[in-house]
Amino acid sequence: MAGATRPPLPDWHAPSPDAITPDRASVQAWLDAYVLAWQSYAPAAIADLWTDDALWIYPFGIRARGRAAITAEWLAEQHLDTPGGYDAQYEPIAIDGDLVVAHGRTRFFDPLTGATQAEYDNIWVLRFGPDRRCAEFHEWYARRPDDARRAGQLSRPPSAE
């Protein structure tokens, strides 16, 4: 298209002067600790994931800024999760300088029967501080199409186009 301009990319695409380039094993350890913190809702385990000035971006604006605010935000949502009724698995899929891209799947289920209630695919873009805690957490997620269709939110399978 003549005259069309591309949208600008967000500032966070630029390298951060304080961030480090983590290795895959340390990212996986952080992702596993994230799942354990979520399952436990232990304030110390949640807080230990984040730098003092961490940002949680969800998905297009800052949801929480700083370790204390992120921990409080998590704890405020504890009532939404049935104890023993959720699990997740995440893994790093790309590391480029100080940016990490992780993919995962979150599953909510009936803890008595094991029947899946919903599954979500997640893409996270992460930056880590020198202490190996997360300094920036950008989160996007989508409900799996089969779950949405069962819930009446999707009338036909997504196109393969």
Delimit the domains of the chain by residue range.
Answer: 19-150
CATH level 3 topology of 19-150: Nuclear Transport Factor 2; Chain: A, (3.10.450)
Q: pLDDT of 54-110, one tens digit each? A: 999 987 789 999 999 999 999 999 888 888 899 999 999 999 989 999 999 999 989
**Predicted structure pTM score:** 0.83
Q: pLDDT of 106-151, one tens digit each? A: 999 899 999 988 999 999 999 999 999 999 999 999 888 875 555 5
Alpha-carbon gap, residue 32 to 75, rounded angstroms: 19
CA dihedral sign of residues 29, 118, 94, 77: negative
- For the record, the structure tokens of 65 come out as 């800024």
